[in-house]
Amino acid sequence: MNRLIRRKLGLALVIVCCGTADVLATTGQWLGLTEPVFDVVLSLPVPGIVSSLAVREGDFVKTNEVILELDNRLEELEVDRRKFVLDNRKADWESTRTVFEKSNSVSRDELLKKEADYKIAVAEYETAVEQLKRRRLISPGAGVVAELKPHTGESCSAYEPVARIVDTRRCYFVSNVEAQSSVRFKPQQKLALEIDDGDQKVRVEGNIVFISPVVDSSSGLQRIKVLFENPEGKIRPGLSGRIIPE
C-alpha cells in the first residue's frame, strides 16, 4: 500500500505519494514531475554474442532502425537451407498439379500430400527467417539512445535489458492533486506550467490528456497528465515543476 507522509512546510502542505512529491500551496500551485512520452528499455528474446553495434549512446535513431546484432551465421545458413527446401517443394507440388490436371496418372491424395509438404516448407522457412530477425535489436520508435550496455564481443542473455531509447520531443507533466481540487481540471484543458531547471524557471503550455478515473484511497490524490511540446529538448525529463493557476 502507498505510504503517505505529511509534514507542514510554512504555508504549504507537502504530500509524498507513489514516490512523487506534490505541493498544494495557498497560491493554488501543484507540483509534479516531467517525463518523456516515449521511454522504453529494450532487450533481445534470444541469447548470443554481440557481433556489431550500429549506434552509440547519444545517437538519434529512427523507428525500426537496427541498434545491434548478435552472431547469426548459423541462422543465416538455416534460412538458406529452408529456402532451398521450399523451392523444391514448390516445384514438386506445381509439377504434380499440372500432371493431375492433364491426366489421371496422379491421384488426388498424392496431389494433396505434395501441397501439404509445400505448406510445411513455407512455415519452416518463415520460422527460420523469424529466428534470424530475433538476432537484431530494432528500435520500436524514434528517439535518442540514452543507454547502451553491451560492447562488441560481449554476451547477452535473453530478455536482459541492453538499451534504452528516449524521445524528449514531447513530454508529460505528471501531478497528483487533491480530489477536491481536481474538479477544476478537464480533458484537453490548456494549462501553464513552470519547470525548474537549476536557477532558471522555464514556462511552457500543455493540454491535459489524462485524468485518473480513481482517487488514491490512502492519500486522497488524483493523478493528471499534461502533454507539452519540447521540440528542442530544452526541458530535460525528470525535472520538477508546477502548474500555474489561471
Q: What is the pLDDT of residues 77-130, one digit of tens each?
A: 999 999 999 999 999 999 999 999 988 788 999 999 999 999 999 999 999 999
Measured between alpha carbons, how far is 226 from 241 in angstroms, rounded to an integer? 12
pLDDT-wise least confident of 25-29, 136-140, 224-228: 25-29
Domain spans in the chain, listed from the N-terminal domain onward? 1-33, 40-72+135-164, 73-133
Q: Where residue 28 falls among pLDDT bands split at 50, 70, 90?
A: low
State pLDDT tens for residues 137-181: 999 999 999 999 999 999 999 999 999 999 999 999 999 999 888
Q: What is the pLDDT of residues 169-220, one digit of tens each?
A: 999 999 999 988 888 899 999 999 999 998 889 999 999 999 999 999 999 9
Return the axis-axis angle of helices 108-133 and 73-102, rounded to nearest 10°: 160
The pTM of this model reads 0.77
**Which class does domain 40-72+135-164 fall in?**
mainly beta
Quick one: pLDDT band at residue 9, thresholds 50, 70, 90? very low
40-72+135-164 and 73-133: identical CATH topology: no
Work out the burial of residue 106: count CB atoms within 10 Å of its CB; fewer than 13 is exposed, 13-18 middle, 19 or more buried: middle
Architecture of domain 73-133: Orthogonal Bundle (1.10)
